[in-house]
Every structure is written in structure tokens, then in C-alpha cells.
């Protein structure tokens, strides 16, 4: 009998300890949901999907019910997850998921191109039946909307429809464009456009600042055009009926676009820019990384373990395929890699003939687990932000081959911090790649700087998973975290740009000029003329 009582007490004590541990983490098993979140990731890019999947998992683990709008639905039976499948916006595998290398290099897009693309992605999602079903059902409610910001504000009115706070999520580094959506504008002396072909070395000189200012003015004009004349039309088409259905008149579009409660940024020093940020902008970069990388497949683990001279890993990312490289360039790259004594892993989407013995082609690569291996020496990458963060996390030097988007700025920042090199695509790419590989492999400073960057990247008050959970929880509990809103939210553009102060100074200057003119006239009149002087004589 005493044994039975002891066992019952032990079980009870274990259950109590488990409940306390769960409570300390902020969620009790079987407890009421923290709330319902609408997570919208409309960009048809695998990297955006990776980030959206990670956010969904983190929120579900934290006790939220998540409705996830995505063009890349994964097979999942997780409790608390509802997937709104918008995959029909994808045309086919090549056109929707992959980009042509030659076209991107030979015909670079203008700076405002991303505004057009961002509008198209958001519009496609909003017109999709899966999202229309949510919008036009007045029984559907949410406590929070998290929207993937990609150069368009068209997703912002979702929060107005469901009468809940809006959290913007930037899949790239913080920029003056994304900061505008939370009423903050960075100085051209600090902010570099993420889509630029080069990142100037800080501090920027006068020429760099002038170029940045002109680019900001140019893109601000385009943004105003899209907001007022393009996005506003879609806003009336998509949102008027759902708002009226819920008994609310559609407010002006611009009053909703800049009404976000928080901006979460998928970046973190030392990877991106280190800009001064308001309280409603927070870094959560690295949340897609595993707390402990998964084990490698047995054969791959054995190969890396036996690579006593180290490993070079080559991957151009999810949007560009190595198979699309020109055949002559592929042949020359294989020749360069064959001269290395290191083992080379190259993510390649098809089989090749006459592959050197030290080169191993992978149609799929567990990238994070590969980078975590102690024999890893160099990562040859397209310099996408996720890849840069993964290399930084594990202290692996980067050799960047940027192709489009923010990749040029990403690798430039790595180069400036001393743990990577940049090689641009050109006809002599193989020769330049060979030279860069020789430099990184033979110069230990790159590896030392990469390890230091890794230490800084990991050293945080809270990990990115915990940080993301905290900020989402804060916004839902406080109905928008109004205490974090910057004063600019309640200022007109006239006041925010200090035009009122400039007007005061201009008025004072005008008044002083008039006073000076009166004094000048008075002094002139008071001076004796030559004729009067002669008469007096």
C-alpha cells in the first residue's frame, strides 16, 4: 500500500513539475489558445516560404491558432494550423520558382522594378479564392495579422477587415523603405538601398550620400504613385465589400498602409546594416535556424568526416539553379574545383558527365547541417540573406556570387567585415573564382573573422525564437503595443519634416530682410548729398 501511495505521489509530482515548466514557458498544455493569427506570405519564392513556415511553427508552439496563406503548402497535420493554399498563382516550376541567370546578369532591372513585383504578388494573393473566402466570411475573426512586407502595402487593410493589430514582417534587412511603414525614415547618410549593386563603405562620403538621397527621392516618387494610383484601385476592389459586410465604411487607403503596430526584421548584426531603430522595429533574424542542426545522412556524414583537407560547399540557392549555368562555364568551374585538394559538395539539379573525383553533386542538400560540420572551410553562395545568416551562425567564410536583389549588398557587407569575398558573374568567372578560393583557403583571417562574427550573431539577450514569440505576444496582449509607437505616427508630414520650423525661420529671415532694407533706406536718406554740402560751404 505504501508503495502504491509513493508511486501516485511520484506521478503527481512529475505532472506538477511539467505543468510548472510549461507555465514558465508561457503556455499550459491543453490551455485556451493565445489567439488566432492570420499569417500571409504571398511571395512565390522558396526562401520566403522557409521563413513563413518557421513563424507558423513558432507561433503554434507558443499556443496560437495560425491560418497560414502560402503558395507553398507543406504536408502537415499540426494541431492549430490551417493552411490557405494559394499555390495556383504559380504558373509552372520554371517560371514561378526559378530565375534565368543570363537574363538577370545581362538585363538588370530598374530600381523601381521591385515595387511592380511587390504589387503583383500581393494582388495575386488577395484575388485568390482561398483568401477571398476568409475576407467575405464575417464570422471569421483574428487577433493579429502578420504580413510579409515585399515593397507593397496592399496587405495592410487585412488588419482593418478583421479589426486587429498588424505586424509587418520584412524578409530582408531593415531599409528606409520598410521603415516608412512604421513612420520612421532613415537618413541617406546611414541607409543603403537593399537592391543596390554595391554597399558603400561607412561612413558614406558626400558623393555616396548624394546618390542615396537622389535614389530615395526617385523611389519615394514611385512609391507614392503606386500607393495613390495603383494599390488604391486594388484596395477598393478587394476590401470595400468585406469592410461593408462587417458594418464599417472603407477608410482612406493611406491611413491603413502606415498603421502597422510592429515591424519584425529578418536580420541581425553583424549580418546586415546597424541602423538606429524605433521601439516598434525589432530584429528576429535567425528564427528559421534550428536550435540543433539535424543529423546528416549517413553517407554524407561519412564523406565529410573523411575529408581531412576540409570541405568546400557550393550552392546558388532556391531561386537560381546551377543547371542553368552556361555549359562552358559549368565545364570550366568543374576544372577549377578539380584542382582543389578539398572535398567539394555542389548542389546541382541534374547529373553531369566527367565529374572530378573530389566533386560530389547533390540534387538536395541539408545546408544547415553541412555548414555545421567542423570540416567546412568555404561556402560558395549566391549570398541570399538566409544563406549568409546560416554561414555566419556556423562561422563559415563566404565566397559570394551575387545575381539579383539584395545579394550584392549582403556580400559587400560580409566583405567589409572580413569574412568573405565577392566574385561577380562574368565570362572569366572560373578564373576569378579560383583566385578567390585560393585567397580564402590560404588566409586564416577569413576563418577567424567568421568565427568572431558567429559569436556576435549568437550573443543575444534572447534567441530569435523567443524574441519573435515575445513581440507577437506583446502586440496581441496590448492590442497593438501603442506604447511602442513613435511620435511621428501622430504628426503630419509637414511637422515630421520640420517644415513648420523652416517656415518660421523663413518668415524671420523675410522680416529681417525687410528691416534691413528699411534701415538701409533710412541711412541713405539721412546722409547729406554733395549739392547740400557745397551750398553750406
| DSSP β-ladder status, 343-347 and 359-362 | parallel
Does residue 109 or residue 297 have the better pLDDT? 297
Give the predicted TM-score (pTM) of the model.
0.86
Q: What is the pLDDT of residues 461-471, one digit of tens each?
A: 899 999 999 99
Per-residue pLDDT band at 24 (split at 50, 70, 90): very low
Tell me phi and psi for residue 260, to 5 degrees.
-70, 145
- Average pLDDT of the residues in 350-366: 92
pLDDT at 532: 55
Does residue 276 or residue 289 have the better pLDDT? 289
DSSP E strands in 253-391: the ranges are 262-265, 281-283, 311-315, 343-347, 359-362, 376-381
Structural domains of the chain sorted by starting position, each given as residue range(s) with its CATH number in brackets: 25-289+463-490 (3.40.50.2000), 298-458 (3.40.50.2000)
Task: Say how many C-beta atoms besides its own lie within 10 A of residue 461's C-beta.
Answer: 6
pLDDT at 180: 86
Per-residue pLDDT band at 33 (split at 50, 70, 90): confident
pLDDT at 536: 54
Task: Say how many C-beta atoms besides its own lie within 10 A of residue 92's C-beta.
Answer: 7
pLDDT over 60 (residue 27): no
- Average pLDDT of the residues in 430-438: 96
Does residue 78 or residue 4 have the better pLDDT? 78
Per-residue pLDDT band at 291 (split at 50, 70, 90): confident
pLDDT over 60 (residue 14): no
pLDDT over 60 (residue 95): no
- For 325, the grid coordinates are 549555368
Per-residue pLDDT band at 112 (split at 50, 70, 90): confident
Q: How far apart are CA 31 and CA 33, in angstroms?
A: 6
Tell me phi and psi for residue 68, to 5 degrees.
-110, 115
pLDDT at 10: 42
Q: What is the pLDDT of residues 45-83, one digit of tens each?
A: 999 999 999 999 999 999 999 999 999 998 777 899 999
pLDDT at 5: 42
pLDDT at 498: 77
pLDDT at 6: 42
Amino acid at each position: 500500500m505504501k508503495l502504491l501511495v509513493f508511486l501516485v505521489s511520484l506521478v503527481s509530482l512529475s505532472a506538477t513539475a511539467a505543468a510548472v515548466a510549461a507555465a514558465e514557458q508561457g503556455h499550459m498544455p491543453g490551455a485556451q489558445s493565445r489567439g488566432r493569427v492570420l499569417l500571409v506570405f504571398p511571395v512565390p519564392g522558396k526562401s520566403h516560404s522557409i521563413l513563413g513556415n518557421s513563424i507558423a511553427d513558432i507561433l503554434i508552439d507558443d499556443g496560437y491558432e495560425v491560418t497560414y496563406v502560402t503558395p507553398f503548402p507543406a504536408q502537415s497535420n499540426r494541431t492549430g494550423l490551417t493552411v490557405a493554399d494559394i499555390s495556383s498563382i504559380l504558373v509552372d516550376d520554371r517560371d514561378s520558382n526559378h530565375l534565368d541567370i543570363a537574363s538577370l546578369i545581362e538585363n538588370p532591372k530598374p530600381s523601381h522594378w521591385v515595387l511592380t513585383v511587390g504589387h503583383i504578388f500581393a494582388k495575386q494573393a488577395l484575388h485568390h479564392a482561398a483568401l477571398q473566402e476568409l475576407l467575405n466570411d464575417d464570422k471569421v475573426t483574428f487577433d493579429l495579422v502578420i504580413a510579409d512586407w515585399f515593397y507593397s502595402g496592399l496587405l495592410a487593410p487585412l488588419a482593418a477587415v478583421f479589426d486587429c493589430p498588424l505586424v509587418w514582417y520584412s524578409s530582408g534587412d531593415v531599409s528606409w523603405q520598410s521603415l516608412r511603414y512604421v513612420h520612421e525614415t532613415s537618413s541617406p547618410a546611414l541607409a543603403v538601398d537593399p537592391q543596390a549593386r554595391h554597399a558603400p563603405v561607412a561612413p558614406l562620403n558626400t558623393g555616396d550620400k548624394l546618390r542615396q538621397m537622389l535614389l530615395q527621392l526617385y523611389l519615394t516618387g514611385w512609391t507614392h504613385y503606386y500607393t495613390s494610383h495603383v494599390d488604391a484601385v486594388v484596395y477598393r476592389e478587394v476590401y470595400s465589400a468585406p469592410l461593408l459586410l462587417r458594418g464599417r465604411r472603407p477608410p482612406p487607403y493611406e491611413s491603413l498602409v502606415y498603421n502597422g503596430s510592429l515591424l519584425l526584421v529578418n536580420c541581425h548584426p553583424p549580418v546586415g546594416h546597424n541602423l538606429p531603430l524605433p521601439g516598434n522595429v525589432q530584429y528576429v533574424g535567425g528564427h528559421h535556424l534550428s536550435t540543433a542542426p539535424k543529423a546528416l545522412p549517413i553517407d554524407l556524414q561519412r564523406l565529410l568526416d573523411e575529408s581531412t583537407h576540409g570541405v568546400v560547399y557550393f550552392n546558388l540557392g532556391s531561386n537560381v539553379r546551377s543547371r542553368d549555368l552556361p555549359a562552358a562555364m559549368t565545364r570550366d568551374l568543374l576544372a577549377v574545383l578539380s584542382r582543389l585538394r578539398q572535398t567539394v559538395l555542389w548542389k546541382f539539379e541534374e547529373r553531369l558527365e566527367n565529374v572530378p573525383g573530389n566533386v560530389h553533386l547533390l540534387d538536395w542538400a541539408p545546408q544547415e547541417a553541412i555548414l555545421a560540420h567542423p570540416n567546412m572551410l568555404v561556402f560558395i553562395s549566391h549570398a541570399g540573406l538566409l544563406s549568409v545568416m546560416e554561414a555566419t551562425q556556423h562561422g563559415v567564410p563566404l565566397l559570394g556570387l551575387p545575381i539579383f536583389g539584395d545579394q550584392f549588398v549582403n556580400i559587400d557587407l560580409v566583405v567589409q567585415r572580413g569574412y568573405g569575398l565577392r566574385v561577380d558573374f562574368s565570362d572569366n568567372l572560373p578564373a576569378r573564382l579560383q583566385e578567390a578560393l585560393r585567397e580564402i583557403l590560404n588566409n586564416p583571417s577569413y576563418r577567424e573573422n567568421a568565427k568572431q562574427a558567429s559569436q556576435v550573431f549568437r550573443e543575444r539577450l534572447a534567441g530569435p525564437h523567443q524574441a519573435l514569440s515575445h513581440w507577437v505576444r506583446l502586440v496581441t496582449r496590448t492590442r497593438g503595443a501603442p506604447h511602442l509607437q513613435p511620435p511621428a505616427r501622430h504628426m503630419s508630414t509637414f511637422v515630421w519634416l520640420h517644415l513648420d520650423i523652416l517656415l518660421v525661420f523663413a518668415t524671420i529671415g523675410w522680416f529681417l530682410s525687410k528691416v534691413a532694407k528699411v534701415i538701409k533706406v533710412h541711412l541713405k536718406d539721412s546722409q547729406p548729398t554733395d549739392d547740400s554740402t557745397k551750398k553750406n560751404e
